[in-house]
Amino acid sequence: MIRTATVHDVPEILAMIHELAAYEKAAEQSRATEEQLREALFGAHPAASVLIAEDDADGRAVGFALWFSRFSTWTGTRGMYLEDLFVRPHTRGAGHGKALLAALAAICRENGFERFEWVVLDWNEPAIGFYRSLGAEFLDDWTVCRLSGAPLADLAAHAPAVARRAA
């Protein structure tokens, strides 16, 4: 079963985020707290949405998909960005991942989103094969860029005053 997460799911979502970080060999980078997730997902201005995959037999959470909308200047429409998709290892192969992605695709269609995008680690062959089997297009000519920590702070220090007030 796939359902929309509620505020009561925050502890389980956080647990799965930590499991995902460990799987991606980056456990030390997973610093989110329940309070942060509660505000980000269910506060006055939600930043993202979450779907939960539950085991049909016992109702336990076996996976999640966290997404948010984005905008394409080229199409002039919104799209969906999948930040995290995770299915607990002991339940993989039972269709939970595909069901989560199908539910997200349906949300895209219902909202007129033209694009559904995400990234995958280049070493994650099982995920890459799974996404290829669904017909996902791999954009090999695009590279993800990120600023964080000191480089982000250094660049922000050069922002004009008007930009600092815009936030």
The residues assigned a catalytic role are 131
Cα-Cα-Cα-Cα torsion 15, 21, 24, 25, nearest 10 degrees, comes to -120
Which residue's structure tokens are 């993202």?
48
Q: Which two tokens stand for residue 138?
A: 């791999």
Helix (H) or strand (E) holding 3: strand 2-4
Helix axes 10-23, 34-42, angle to 10 degrees: 110
Please tell me whether residue 102 adopts helix, strand or coil conformation: helix
Length of the chain counted residue by residue: 167
